[in-house]
Amino acid sequence: MDYQESFESTAKAELGVARRLAAQGDYWSAVYHCQQAAEKMTKAVLFKNRIIEMKEHVISGLFSSRILRQRRSKELTRVYRYLVRLESHINKARYPVREADEIIPPMERYGARDAADAIAQAEFIIVTLQKLLDEPTPSETAI
């Protein structure tokens, strides 16, 4: 198994974890795992395209500049928008946040609707990017 396959399979597993957590009522944790699923599937696409300079969790900019710019489509533009939305939860879904004079833990910030939205976004990203992963690379088509 290479990095691309590993990121791809881990992304799908993370989405499964998110679904189970949401079903248990652990919405905040489900949202976090959706972000992780989207990030890992995006990294699988980046690896397939020989883009390996990603060292951070925020990869929407790299996706936009290296994938979306070359393959602009409605679906990939939507993937980009969802990546940005899910990235906003990287820290909010894991750490307490100060709001006015109150400290709000992540489990109090998220509800069922938040988890359902995040799951739908991560599913769209995974399904859409799977199509890119299934396309043959130029070296595979050159015979």
Q: What pTM did the predictor assign?
A: 0.91
Assigned CATH topology for domain 3-136: Four Helix Bundle (Hemerythrin (Met), subunit A) (1.20.120)
The residue extents of the domains of the chain are 3-136
Q: According to DSSP H, which parts of 25-101 are helical?
A: 27-48, 60-63, 74-87, 89-92
On the question of pLDDT at 53 being above 80, the answer is: no
Q: Which of 40-54, 62-76, 96-110 has the lowest mean pLDDT?
A: 40-54
With contact defined as beta carbons under 8 Å apart, do 37 and 9 qualify?
no
On the question of pLDDT at 42 being above 90, the answer is: yes
